Structure 1
Amino acid sequence: MYHFSVAETHGVVHLAAEDQRLDGRIVTVGGREMVNFSSCGYTGLEMHQGLKDAVAEAVQRYGTQFSTTRAFLSAPQYAEAEAALTTLFGRPAAISASTTMGNLSAIPTLVGPGDAMILDAQVHRSVRMAARLTEAPIRTVPHNSLEVLERRVRELSAEYDRVWFMADGLYSMFGDFSPVGELGDLAERYEKLWLYFDDAHSISWTGRNGRGHVLDRLSPAALEKTVVVGSLNKAFGIAGGVMTFPTDELRHQVFSLGLPMIFSGPVPPPMLAGIVASARLHLSGEVAERQQRVVDRIRFFNREAVGYGLPLLNESESPIRYVVTGRDIESTATLVRRLQESGYFVNAASYPAVPAKRSGLRATITVHQTQDDILGLVQAIAKWLAGGAGQGR
């Protein structure tokens, strides 16, 4: 609570946009217009006219909501939307109200009493929440440590029916990727090892037709023992989450027995129409040009950040960029406030979202930003960063 209290005092959390109309690039807070470097809409599809038209037309046809749990009755476009996602991701898919609800549906349903779980130390908080709802033992391994993971898999395989390893495909704070290929190799070598990925942040902006980091890199054999949950609320441009499974049987199991699928509200019809439109857009190949624009902007940010001596946590080619400021939330919040005053809206990251020693600022790259926007942010960080990251090259 202390960290949030400090951030709140500095005016960098729990803020509200004041814009009467959004364009994806600018956000207004406290009367100040800023370039938005906090959006997870990396591809900018939330502003795509085709998606907006589909949503608007569905409002007229179906109304604003269809307030019946799917255990009894699904809204008209659910079947079409899930069929489109099944085609897009190349495996059985089910829509959840959000990625978090997808994790809370899938993990307690799939993990049996004879199973064990291994969690990456940086896996998303919603995966941890869902894991605690099971009766299975939980082990944690250091972030992306394949050596420790393999040792734990060997140990647990001797005692349990299945061993689930749970990780993010793209980690939401530090912006680094899971070693998906190596994890797939492990799954092929160890019969009892199953993989579970929260790949919310890589859907749409990367992978063939936007299927994301994980599904683009696993072998067919590894995919037979892998569940991937993603987000339709980020780069996909709409709302909701998507759960993908190796078999129709597992999909039906989670759809029928996952508690949020039974007891929580459904995705509204206008958003279902948007999901259909976005899936068609991805399958058409149109999204490839947006993917390249995202990658070009990421590479530009990385080059300039290195040139200005910014302490990047990593130089991965992901749209989540993390600048380390140290253990002091006070100085991190002050830096973020100064960046806001300079016209750049970024996020302060501190414990418990990240380890206490890795406080920093998190900036996200989208197609809405220009090179001048990105260069201006880098220069502003270099100017204001406590300890002096340099004033220029």
Structure 2
Amino acid sequence: MVVKHGELDRALDVVGRLARTHHHVWFACDGVYSMYGDFLPAGFLRDLLAVAPNVRLFIDDAHGMSWAGERGCGHFLSRFPLGDRVVLVTSLAKAFATGGGVVVVQDRRLLETARLVGGPFSFSGPLRPGDLGASIASARIHLSPELAILQAALRDRIAQANALCRTLAIPLVIANEAPIFFIALGRVEAVYLMAERLRDQGFHVNVSGFPAVPASRGGLRIAINAIHSAAQVDALFHAIAEHLPSVLAAVGVTRDEVAEQFEGVLPSFLRAARRSPARCSSSPSATPRRPTRSPSRPTPASIGSTPSCGTRSSAISPTSTRARCGRPSACSTASTRSSSTAGRSATCSSARTTRSSPRRRSPRS
């Protein structure tokens, strides 16, 4: 079952109904959502786990890795504990700047189950030597004092960009602490026209249009990293503000019409943050109401499939899987080669690797 991102207010009720009739209910979502850079309040996630003891969280924190948290543990783990009902997956192909994937759980039995029956372990190959060497170099940076310096520099650039959007009246979908900025432009013609004008001034920005986003909700997706200087960030956002009126006029839309198209893209408890940066910790008042808690009465159900994380929705998957996270133990990680070709978020480390085209690999025995 999929709950649209803008309708997450009803997720607690949906999870409550499923928890009464299924063995396990998995709530799958992003730690940091890839398009707008928003994230769910910690209070909301705690309320989900409190619905019933058979509710679990499956978090994809690919876009929160490295730039946040102690030693780059990621945005999610910097604000939410890894409990026995939480599974975290993340990518090394974004801010970590190499390649591969990571699974973090407390129950080693669950990790072993994933290793035995999980598709990525059966149908992927090991990291290439070059990727492995780059990962070691990046890991050394993460374990050194240099990472904290890079994270602090990035936080300054993020705060600067948020302030510029407010001062220059740039239509940012949501202002928060993530290094991802989505400038709302609406029609795809406006998106490409703005990108072309910025390109002519020496700025390369990512365009987001249909089918990655709905046809009327296009925009620029800007990812800032620690290497960008304050002068570069200032110049980019001033250029956007300079071209914005003429771009919208050229395609025949107004600011109000663009704003109307983006109404409802965020859940109500995040809309208050559209003009002010959010904080890691969330107050209970920032989360939707908690449904009445009912005893869990699990019955068999088919194993549910979930869409790939990174979409603008969250998947709630009831399953009858018998793997249980009951005993905390040391965190376990497992790496597998990532097939994702999504764009990078902010890069906090200097490790790099040259990539070739993906090659088809035969299944390992």
Paired residue type of 1:161 = H
Contact 2:16/2:51 (8 A) holds in 1: no
Q: Which residue pairs with 2:13 in the alignment?
A: 151
Which residue, out of 41, 47, 62, partners 1:179? 41
Flag the 1:286–1:350 CA change in 2: closer, same or farther, 3 A: same
Contact 1:142/1:148 (8 A) holds in 2: no
Alignment of structure 1 residues 66-85 onto 2, 5 Å: none
* Structure 1 residues 314-354: Cα deviation after superposition (integer angstroms, max 9, x where no partner): 1111110110001x111211111111111100011112322
Superposed displacement of residue 181, structure 1: 3.8
* Structure 1 residues 256-292: Cα deviation after superposition (integer angstroms, max 9, x where no partner): 2212211222211232233233223323343111111
Which residue, out of 209, 213, 225, partners 2:71? 209
Flag the 1:349–1:224 CA change in 2: closer, same or farther, 3 A: same
Q: Which residue pairs with 1:316 in the alignment?
A: 176
- Give the Cα–Cα distance (whole angstroms) in 1 for the partners of residues 122 and 237 of structure 2: 47
Superposed displacement of residue 141, structure 1: 1.7
Identity %: 38
Contact 1:161/1:192 (8 A) holds in 2: yes
**Match status 1:374 vs 2:229:** no
Flag the 1:256–1:280 CA change in 2: closer, same or farther, 3 A: farther
TM-score (norm 2): 0.64
Paired residue type of 1:224 = D
Contact 2:15/2:51 (8 A) holds in 1: no
Q: Provide runs of 4+ in structure 1 moved above 6 Å.
A: none
**Match status 1:340 vs 2:340:** no
- Give the Cα–Cα distance (whole angstroms) in 1 for the partners of residues 151 and 63 of structure 2: 13
Paired residue type of 2:230 = Q
Alignment of structure 1 residues 342-357 onto 2, 5 Å: 342-357=201-216
- Give the Cα–Cα distance (whole angstroms) in 2 for the partners of residues 355 and 180 of structure 1: 28
**SS of residue matched to 1:344:** coil
Aligned residues: 249
**Match status 1:289 vs 2:149:** yes
Flag the 1:225–1:311 CA change in 2: closer, same or farther, 3 A: same
- Single out whichever of 149-158 and 279-288 deviates more from structure 2: 279-288
- Give the Cα–Cα distance (whole angstroms) in 1 for the partners of residues 4 and 123 of structure 2: 35
**SS of residue matched to 1:377:** helix
Contact 2:188/2:216 (8 A) holds in 1: no
Alignment of structure 1 residues 1-393 onto 2, 5 Å: 139-143=1-5, 145-219=7-81, 223-326=83-186, 328-385=187-244, 386-387=247-248
Paired residue type of 1:290 = L
Structure 1: 5+ residue stretches without partners: 1-138
CA RMSD of aligned residues (A): 1.9
- Give the Cα–Cα distance (whole angstroms) in 2 for the partners of residues 214 and 183 of structure 1: 11
- Give the Cα–Cα distance (whole angstroms) in 1 for the partners of residues 238 and 66 of structure 2: 29
- Single out whichever of 376-385 and 258-267 deviates more from structure 2: 258-267
Which protein is richer in helix relative to its size? Answer: 1
TM-score (norm 1): 0.60
Structure 2: 5+ residue stretches without partners: 256-365
Paired residue type of 1:387 = L
- Single out whichever of 311-320 and 172-181 deviates more from structure 2: 172-181
Superposed displacement of residue 226, structure 1: 1.1
- Give the Cα–Cα distance (whole angstroms) in 2 for the partners of residues 374 and 291 of structure 1: 16
Contact 2:93/2:100 (8 A) holds in 1: yes
* Structure 1 residues 196-225: Cα deviation after superposition (integer angstroms, max 9, x where no partner): 1111011000011111111222235xx211
Contact 2:49/2:56 (8 A) holds in 1: yes
Paired residue type of 1:276 = I
Superposed displacement of residue 146, structure 1: 4.9
Paired residue type of 2:147 = V
Q: Which residue pairs with 1:124 in the alignment?
A: none
**SS of residue matched to 2:126:** coil
